[in-house]
Amino acid sequence: DEKEKFEPTVFRDTIVQGLNEAGNDLEAIAKFLDAAGSRLDYRRYADTLFDILVAGSMLAPGGTRIDDNDKTKMTNHCVFFADEDHDAIRNYAQVS
């Protein structure tokens, strides 16, 4: 029985790259997440996925981002960077 490596940073990089390539189109983001779900283990990396979709990158204990301001490790396509109105937040919630 081989154990799979737990690599949340590789998962983060893959998700962030896909979100950034999808641009500002939430439908394209939803399609990317749907397609990636068949090859990425969302259950195994659920906490990392949640961090990315809400805060834009992985979070350390205490809530600080651990991206070192490296733009390739973070995305602006998340709830924290959404417009501050009900419809925008609802649209991001529907994608998640």
How would you class 31 by CB atoms within 10 Å of its CB: exposed for 0-12, middle for 13-18, buried for 19 or more? middle
Going by pLDDT thresholds of 50, 70 and 90, the confidence category of residue 24 is confident
Q: Name the residue among 39, 8, 29 with its Cα closest to residue 81.
A: 29
Please tell me the predicted confidence (pLDDT) of residue 96.
65
> How many Å apart are CA 84 and CA 87, to the nearest integer?
9
- The predicted-structure confidence for 50-78, as pLDDT tens digits, reads as follows 999 999 999 999 888 888 788 889 999 88
Q: pTM of this prediction? A: 0.85
Going by pLDDT thresholds of 50, 70 and 90, the confidence category of residue 2 is low
> How many Å apart are CA 35 and CA 27, to the nearest integer?
12
Residues 44/37, Cβ–Cβ less than 8 Å: no
